[in-house]
C-alpha cells in the first residue's frame, strides 16, 4: 500500500525497514478522482501529500477570479501548504487532482516520530525544506524578471514529463504568461531546434 513511499524513504533518507515499520501505523492512503479537492481555501492543511500515482496541482484564485498555479506534484513529489500546516492557519491554496491520484497522507505525528527515531531522516527533511526555499526564491526571481522562454526552460527542467500530461493553459498559468505567449515560445524553440526536412 505504501510501496513507492517506502522505496522513496529508503533511497532518499536511508530509513531502514524496521524504522519504516514503526512509522507505518500513522500513515494512511487515499485515492482522489480527477477534479476532486484535497484542500480548499480557508481550510487548515493538516497533511502533506506524497503522490504514489497521479498528478496534483496547488493554486490560488485572485480577486478577478483568475487561477494562478503555484506547484505541480507528480509521482514521488510532496504537496502541502506548509505554512498553513505549521502555523495552524487557514490556507490560501486550493489543491486538486489533475489525474486520478493516489496519495499517502502524512501528518505531524509522522514527522515527529520519524525525526525521533532516525537521524538521517531528520537530516534529509531539513535539506528538503532548504531546497524548497531555494526553489521558491528562484521562482520569485524568474517571475519578476525572466523572459517567457527562460521561465519555460526552467519549467521543463523541473517537470520534464508534464508538458505531455497537463493542458497548455495550466503550464501558462504556472509560468505567469498567456497561453498565446507559451505557444509562441514553443514555436520559436522548434524553429531553432528542429533539424527535420
Residues near other proteins (CB under 8 A) are 156, 160-161, 163-165, 168, 183, 186-197
CB 102, min distance to other proteins, A: 18
Residue 15, class by beta-carbon neighbours within 10 Å (0-12 exposed, 13-18 middle, 19+ buried)?
buried
* Stretch (H or E) spanning 48: strand 48-53
CB 68, min distance to other proteins, A: 22
CB-wise, 102 or 165, nearer to other proteins? 165
- Give the cell for residue 93: 491554496
**Helices and strands per DSSP (H, E), number in the chain:** 8, 8
CB 138, min distance to other proteins, A: 19
CB 37, min distance to other proteins, A: 23
CB-wise, 97 or 162, nearer to other proteins? 162
CB-wise, 65 or 196, nearer to other proteins? 196
Residue 57, class by beta-carbon neighbours within 10 Å (0-12 exposed, 13-18 middle, 19+ buried)?
buried
CB-wise, 119 or 156, nearer to other proteins? 156
Amino acid at each position: 500500500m505504501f510501496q513507492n513511499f517506502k522505496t522513496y524513504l529508503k533511497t532518499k533518507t536511508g530509513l531502514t525497514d524496521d524504522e519504516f515499520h514503526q512509522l507505518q501505523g500513522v500513515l494512511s492512503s487515499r485515492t482522489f478522482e480527477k477534479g476532486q479537492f484535497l484542500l480548499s481555501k480557508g481550510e487548515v492543511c493538516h497533511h502533506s501529500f506524497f503522490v504514489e500515482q497521479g498528478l496534483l496541482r496547488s493554486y490560488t484564485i485572485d480577486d478577478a477570479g483568475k487561477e494562478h498555479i503555484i506547484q505541480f506534484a507528480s509521482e514521488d513529489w510532496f504537496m502541502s501548504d506548509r505554512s498553513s500546516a505549521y502555523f495552524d492557519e487557514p490556507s490560501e491554496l486550493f489543491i486538486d487532482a489533475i489525474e486520478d491520484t493516489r496519495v499517502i497522507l502524512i501528518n505531524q505525528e509522522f514527522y515527529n516520530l520519524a525525526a525521533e527515531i532516525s537521524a538521517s531522516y531528520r537530516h534529509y527533511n531539513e535539506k528538503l525544506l532548504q531546497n524548497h526555499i531555494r526553489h521558491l526564491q528562484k521562482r520569485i526571481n524568474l517571475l519578476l524578471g525572466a523572459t517567457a522562454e527562460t521561465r519555460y526552460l526552467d519549467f521543463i527542467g523541473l517537470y520534464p514529463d508534464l508538458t505531455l500530461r497537463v493542458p497548455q493553459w495550466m503550464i501558462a498559468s504556472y509560468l505567469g504568461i498567456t497561453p498565446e505567449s507559451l505557444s509562441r515560445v514553443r514555436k520559436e524553440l522548434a524553429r531553432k531546434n528542429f533539424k527535420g526536412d
